[in-house]
Amino acid sequence: MQNKNNIILYRVAESSQARAEERLKKDVDFCEKFLLALQVGVDPEDIIKVLRLGKRYTDGASPRPILIQLGSRHVNNLITESLYKINYLEV
């Protein structure tokens, strides 16, 4: 895994589903919607892997960050250059 192709999202609400597969599906859906909302020409196929970092706590702790591994450095650059749009996104 190359760090240059990774993006980390903080403060994204975690699903309360009991099964890990369902929580992962919710995270992947959020990431796909997030990238499409930026409108920079990034497709959901550009996402290689999505995972939550850290140990899961159920006692109302802050949500764990999401690591998004992208297919190329070019895609990462497109997203990074569009981060000013985050304040106006509705995901």
Per-residue pLDDT tens for 36-56? 888 888 888 889 999 999 988
Please tell me the predicted confidence (pLDDT) of residue 21: 93
Q: What is the pTM of this model?
A: 0.85
| Distance between CA atoms of residues 41 and 30, nearest Å | 17
Q: What is the dihedral of CA 66, 17, 86, 78, to 10 degrees?
A: 50
Task: Give CATH for domain 3-88.
Answer: 3.30.70
Q: Where are the domains of the chain?
A: 3-88
Residue 4 clears pLDDT 60, i.e. is over it: yes
Q: What is the mean pLDDT of the chain?
A: 87
Residue 86's pLDDT band, with cuts at 50, 70 and 90, is: confident
Q: What separation in angstroms does the CA of 17 have from each of 14, 22, 26, 41, 49?
A: 9, 6, 9, 31, 20
